[in-house]
Amino acid sequence: MLKNLMFLFSLLAINVSFGTDKFPLVPTGDPQPEVINFQDAGLQLALQDQIHANKNWTRLIQQKRMSISLVDLSDENNIKYANINGDHMMYAASMPKIAVLYAAIDAIEEGDLRLTKTVQNDMWLMINKSNNAASTRMIDRVGFQRIEDLMCNPENPFYDKDGNGGLWVGKRYAAQGKRNPEPIRGLSHAATTDAVAKFYYQLATGQLISEKRSAQMLKYLVNPGLHHKFVNTLDVIAPEATLYRKSGSWKNWHCDSILVIDEARGKKYILVAMVESPRGEQIIRNLVKPAELAMDQNATLAPDSIDDEVIITTGT
């Protein structure tokens, strides 16, 4: 009974919080839809140094079983972007549920879906708790065609049918139902870290549909209910930070995506990672500190330690 009451109170809090909209978190003067336009040589080299300091990570990178995208938003007038295998599409498990959220908010914007309490709660369960039943209900409401049309929209694509693919949802999160696999590799749930980083960047700058709708989507991503991968580390090193996040795991495929707003330490960034490895969850957990040190660009690396973790000390 107590657990049921706590769940109801949490839903009530969500319902109340959606009553107001906020301005974009990163009000850049001239935002660009393609985050890759901000590719920065210094950040790229620093990220490569951090990642390649670990021999196990280097091997995964070379085998195309690991990819990373990083966007440094700390200076709104000097956004920086870097990636490793960022355009390599991999199986993404639950992370593409952000595409279902986008399709649902687009349907609401166009008047094709009513924002009822049931729909609102299903979207929250889908993103915050990664609930598969709620995700399946949302996919059934919006349909595969709408999701595909949005992902492949030539005006703002998140999936390139003639290139390296990208973000895709082609199967209900249930055992039953038809499939609409992406056309390049036939994956049901796919992503590139570049496409997901672009998604978060457009949300953070109010460019996805509109400022109002971007802010609305961010409210479903905030305060993640699952504390593993990136969040496990950030709970320790940045307990006061505001986190917007969606992750996914299935068998050896692990991925995470996060927008970090850490006013206390003066850090704002987007980090996306995908790993195919039995130890993928731990690897992703250990990527946060190297990514932050890459943004600082003043790190000194120490030799590899056990458990896929690099001991790093700053120049100070």
Give per-residue pLDDT as tens, 42-72.
999 999 999 999 999 999 999 999 999 999 9
User: How buried is residue 150: exposed, middle or buried, by Cβ count under 10 Å (0-12/13-18/19+)?
Assistant: buried
Helix or strand holding residue 60 (H, E) = helix 55-62
Q: Give Cα 285 to chain centroid, integer Å.
A: 14
Is the pLDDT assigned to residue 193 strictly greater than 60?
yes
CA distance 312 to 185: 38
Q: How many CB atoms lie within 10 A of CB 62?
A: 11
Q: Which of 275, 278, 280, 300 is nearest to 290 (CA)?
A: 300
Q: What angle do CA 158, 188, 132 make, to 5 degrees?
A: 100
- Side-chain-side CA neighbours of 19 within 13 Å: the count stands at 5
3-state secondary structure of 117: helix
Helix or strand holding residue 255 (H, E) = strand 253-262
Give the pLDDT confidence of 4-41 residue by residue, as tens digits.
434 443 444 444 344 334 555 787 767 889 999 999 99
Give the pLDDT confidence of 175-187 residue by residue, as tens digits.
999 899 999 999 9
Do residues 196 and 245 lie in contact, with contact meaning Cβ atoms separated by under 8 Å? no
Domains of the chain (ranges plus CATH)? 35-296 (3.40.710.10)
Q: Please report the pLDDT score of residue 244 as a whole number.
A: 98
Mean pLDDT within 133-147 = 98
